[in-house]
């Protein structure tokens, strides 16, 4: 249990643990296998594959670049400086992600 809690709060430890996990599901049935096969044929799976191939930015770089992004409206930029309550409001959070993905052409992984 301590390992799980430690991984919740430590990104590096969570990433290291994820790399060592085999991902084998000990007991499954045809329904689960069909579900996994359907997922692997989906657009969501293709998105996840592209997402995983995209290199990570160094820590802090996304925030620095976001604050200098010229293709987002002021209200979205203000969330970067003062995230509460804007980042907690679903409509504003959706708009924030939309502005960075669509207006500024950012990759979802970097938002």
The tens digit of pLDDT for each residue in 61-108 reads 999 999 999 999 999 999 999 999 989 999 999 999 999 999 999 999
Mean pLDDT of the chain: 90
91 occurs within a structural domain: yes
**Which residue shows structure tokens 């160094």?**
58
Cβ pair 85, 53 in contact under 8 A: no
Report yes or no on 8 lying in a domain: no
Any domain includes 102 = yes
State the pTM of this model: 0.65
Question: Do residues 66 and 100 lie in contact, with contact meaning Cβ atoms separated by under 8 Å?
Answer: yes
Quote the pLDDT of residue 13: 85
Query: 103, 71 in Cβ contact below 8 A?
Result: yes
Asked if pLDDT for residue 25 goes beyond 80, the answer is no
For residue 50, is it within any domain? yes
Q: Is 20 among the domain residues?
A: no
pLDDT tops 70 at residue 1: no
Domain that holds residue 97: 30-110
Give domain status of residue 15, yes or no.
Answer: no
Average pLDDT of span 42-67: 95
- Answer whether residue 24 is part of any domain: no
- In the chain, the number of structural domains is 1
**In a domain? residue 14:** no
């Amino acid at each position: 249990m301590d390992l799980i809690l430690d991984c919740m709060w430590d990104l590096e430890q969570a990433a290291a643990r994820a790399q060592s996990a085999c991902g084998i599901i000990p007991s499954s049935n045809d329904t689960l296998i069909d579900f996994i096969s359907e997922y692997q044929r989906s657009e969501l799976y293709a998105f996840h594959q592209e997402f995983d191939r995209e290199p990570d930015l160094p820590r802090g770089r996304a925030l620095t670049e976001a604050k200098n992004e010229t293709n987002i409206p002021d209200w979205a930029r203000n969330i970067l400086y003062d995230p509460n309550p804007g980042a907690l409001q679903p409509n504003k959070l959706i708009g924030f992600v939309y502005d960075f993905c669509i207006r500024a052409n950012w990759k979802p992984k970097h938002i």
